[in-house]
């Protein structure tokens, strides 16, 4: 009897009575909150791949199942976002979106390959699990039949041993489906109760066993209370709590008078951990709502930019910088409420895409016009070539070439990459003819005088021209291009003519409407760069000016550091007149040098911007 009693205490410790099952079923929310669902919305591509690799060994885990489903959704969104961003930049650079080829990073290929492999393994694993559950079900049905036969049979010396054997085999039988499990356990508990009710030792053994179970559950409560007091990461706390819940669930019944108290103690300790989770979730929700407000504001700004229209390239480029800046701000904002992620992202990226579609359409139109202008100028080059190779009189060829030059000036811009080459081609054809004519006929001097008159006329036009706004710089380019397109002038008058031309342009820069001295200085530099763009010797002058400004700025900064140190040294002796006079002098120097430093920095910045855009 003692051996049977000891065996019952060791094997019956894991049996759940109907009372304990009911207590668990009355709090289903605790069971549902045990598993912490990972939030993949903050993960990078590399982190999502690492998460898959971390859990690939256990194809049956819930973590891997979540990663295969929701992790892939998060990964797909990142890849799609990167593709849209790359496409937007590709189109923004003036390319045709039909030529876009999105090259995926190695991490993308690795993720999808591993995802496909693990999905197949998990599918096979689940199919095998279903087979195992069916086999377990059949085993448990057979064990119930054996237990039912044992209950119905007369008690023998080996009845308890046979009962314990059935218990152990039932425990080792493994999982079945939830639908089957409820019925199996109900039948099993009923037969166990019947078995004990037919034996005279039932009540004594049951009470002893319930007290032993109470001690085990109290120990679990103490562990849970200790866990609630630890400062651990939330995921680790929930995993440990899951293990303790499993331990509690598999401990058998306790005395009825202690049942509610021990359950409430365990529940209270668990609730402390859930409260931590709720607090974090609440904080996260507040942050997500704040982020949603920020992203909604960015959506409005992006939609306003998406409606932008202009016929000027500079304005489109300026707006493009604003769009890129909004995109950077968007990417800095991470989490938003999950039910709003798709909606707000779609709103922002639709507007983003719309802007670049409109910009692309504008540049397509510009490119079409420039391509047409290029064809016209290429035709002029061919016509000029035919003229110079013809047998008609040289004077007539010269007149026709001059007419072609006038037509050339009336044609608009060509694609930037052909601007210099097509002009050089046309100029070379014209120059070759006039050089040859000048060498062979003194009558060419008349043409030089005509060229001189034309260039002087352009100088007169420049002197008479009154700029009204920024668009007037286009006229400046036209003046310079027209002046350079005209052929040779008498050599003795070339230097003076060039001086008059440069002075006319310099004076023109002074006539541009400005708001302040800084803008006036900008116009001067801009004009000077245009005048000297083709002259390497003069270009070097700007490099020297840059170095000179940088050297003076360094000197002023060193002087200011020294003066500020002196001020700090004499700051404590303000009551002495000599010190006050010295401080006044130093303060005056600091103010003067600070003003000069600010002006020089503005000038240096302006000089560099002008050189960059020249």
- pLDDT tens for residues 225-283? 898 888 888 888 888 898 889 888 778 788 888 889 989 999 998 998 888 888 888 88
Percentage of the chain exceeding pLDDT 70: 87
Candidates 497, 486, 484; CA nearest to 533 is: 484
- Residues in Cβ contact with 327 at an 8 Å cutoff, skipping those fewer than 6 apart: 85, 352
- Answer whether 510's CB lies under 8 Å from 526's CB: no
- The Cα 107–Cα 581 span in angstroms is 69
* pLDDT score of 164 more than 50: yes
> Does 115 fall in a domain?
yes
Q: What are phi and psi of 200, to 5 degrees?
A: -70, -20
Domain count, the chain: 2
| Domain-ending residue, one of 159, 182, 211 | 211
Q: Which of 418, 8, 395 is nearest to 202 (CA)?
A: 8
- pLDDT tens digits for 50-81? 888 888 788 777 788 887 888 888 888 888 88
List C-alpha distances in Å: 122 to 55, 60, 64, 74: 12, 7, 9, 20
Contact 376, 411 (CB under 8 A): yes
Q: Is 372 inside a domain boundary? A: no
Tell me if 611 is assigned to some domain: yes
Q: How many CA atoms lie within 13 A of 607 on its CB side?
A: 17
pLDDT of residue 163: 84
The model's confidence at residue 576, banded by pLDDT at 50, 70 and 90, is: low
Most confident of 39-43, 150-154, 430-434, 496-500: 496-500
pLDDT at 443 > cutoff 80: no
Quick one: pLDDT band at residue 145, thresholds 50, 70, 90? very high
Is there a domain that residue 199 lies in? yes
Domain closes at, from 161, 184, 211 = 211
* 187 falls within a domain: yes
Per-residue confidence (pLDDT) for residue 151, from 0 to 100: 85
For position 460, what pLDDT does the model report? 95
pLDDT of residue 611: 66
Tell me the Cα Rg of the chain: 44
In the chain, what's the furthest Cα-to-Cα distance? 143
467-495 mean pLDDT: 88
329 compared with 541, residue with greater pLDDT = 329
| DSSP 8-state symbol, 167 | H
Q: Does some domain include residue 289?
A: no
- Reduced to 3 states (helix: H, G, I; strand: E, B; else coil), residue 333 is coil
Domain boundary among 177, 192, 211: 211
The 10s digit of each residue's pLDDT in 114-143 is 889 888 988 888 888 888 888 888 888 998
Could you tell me the residue range of the domain that residue 207 belongs to?
2-211
- The mean of the pLDDT values for the chain is 81
- Whether 90 is in a domain gets the answer yes
Q: Look at residues 247, 253, 250, 254 and name the one whose alpha carbon lies nearest to residue 269.
A: 247
Confidence of residue 31 (pLDDT cuts 50, 70, 90): very low
> What is the rounded average pLDDT of the residues 411-423?
88
CB-based contact 176:219 (threshold 8 Å):
no
Give residue 538's pLDDT band: very low, low, confident or very high (50, 70, 90): low
d(CA 601, CA 607): 10
Residue 291: inside a domain: no
């Amino acid at each position: 009897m003692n051996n049977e009693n000891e065996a019952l205490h060791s094997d019956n410790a894991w049996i759940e009575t109907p009372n304990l099952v009911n207590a668990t079923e009355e709090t289903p929310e605790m069971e549902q909150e045990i598993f912490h669902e990972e939030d993949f919305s903050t993960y990078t591509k590399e982190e999502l791949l690492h998460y898959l690799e971390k859990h690939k060994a256990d194809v049956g885990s819930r973590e891997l199942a979540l990663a295969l489903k929701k992790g892939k959704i998060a990964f797909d969104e990142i890849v799609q976002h990167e593709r849209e961003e790359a496409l937007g930049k590709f189109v923004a650079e003036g390319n045709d979106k039909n030529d876009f080829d999105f090259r995926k990073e190695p991490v993308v290929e690795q993720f999808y390959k591993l995802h496909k492999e693990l999905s197949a393994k998990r599918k096979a694993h689940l199919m095998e699990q279903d087979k195992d559950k069916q086999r377990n079900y059949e085993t448990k049905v057979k064990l119930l039949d054996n237990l039912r036969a044992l209950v119905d049979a007369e008690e023998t010396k080996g009845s308890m041993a046979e009962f314990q054997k059935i218990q152990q085999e039932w425990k080792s039988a493994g999982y079945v489906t939830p639908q089957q499990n409820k019925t199996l356990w109900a039948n099993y508990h009923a037969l166990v109760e019947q078995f004990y009710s037919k034996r005279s030792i039932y009540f004594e053994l049951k009470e002893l066993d319930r007290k032993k179970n109470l001690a085990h559950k109290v120990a679990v409560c103490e562990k849970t209370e200790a866990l609630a007091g630890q400062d651990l990461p939330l995921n680790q706390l929930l995993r440990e709590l899951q293990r303790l819940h499993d331990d509690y669930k598999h401990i058998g019944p306790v005395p009825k008078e202690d049942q509610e108290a021990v359950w409430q103690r365990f529940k209270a300790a668990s609730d402390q951990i859930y409260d931590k989770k709720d607090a974090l979730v609440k904080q996260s929700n507040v942050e997500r709502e704040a982020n949603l407000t920020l992203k909604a504001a960015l959506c409005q700004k992006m939609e306003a930019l998406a409606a932008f229209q202009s016929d000027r390239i500079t304005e489109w480029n300026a707006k493009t910088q604003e769009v890129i800046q909004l995109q950077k701000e968007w990417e800095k904002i991470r989490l938003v409420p999950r039910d709003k992620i798709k909606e707000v992202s779609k709103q922002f990226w639709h507007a983003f895409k719309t802007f670049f579609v409109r910009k692309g359409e504008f540049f397509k139109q510009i490119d079409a016009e420039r391509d047409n202008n290029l064809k016209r100028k290429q035709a002029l080059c061919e016509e000029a070539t035919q003229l110079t190779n013809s047998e008609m009189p040289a004077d007539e060829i010269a007149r026709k070439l001059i007419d072609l030059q006038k037509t050339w000036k009336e044609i608009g811009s060509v694609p930037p990459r052909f601007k210099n080459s097509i002009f050089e081609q046309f100029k070379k054809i014209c120059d070759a003819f006039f050089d040859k004519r000048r060498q062979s006929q003194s009558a060419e001097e008349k043409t030089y005088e005509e060229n001189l008159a034309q260039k002087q006329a352009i100088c007169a036009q420049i002197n008479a021209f009154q700029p009204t706004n920024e668009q007037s710089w286009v006229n400046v380019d036209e003046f310079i291009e027209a002046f350079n397109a005209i052929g040779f002038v008498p050599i003795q008058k070339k230097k003076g003519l060039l001086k008059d031309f440069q002075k006319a342009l310099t004076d023109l820069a002074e006539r541009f409407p400005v708001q302040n001295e800084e803008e006036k200085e900008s116009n001067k530099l801009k004009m000077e760069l245009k005048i000297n763009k083709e002259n390497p010797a003069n270009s070097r002058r700007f490099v020297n000016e840059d170095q000179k400004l940088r050297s003076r700025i360094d000197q002023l900064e060193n002087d200011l550091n020294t003066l500020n140190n002196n001020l700090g040294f004499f700051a404590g002796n303000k009551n002495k007149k000599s010190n006050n006079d010295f401080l006044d002098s130093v303060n005056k120097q600091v103010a003067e040098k600070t003003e000069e430093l600010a002006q020089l920095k503005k000038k240096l910045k302006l000089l560099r911007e002008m050189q960059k855009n020249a």
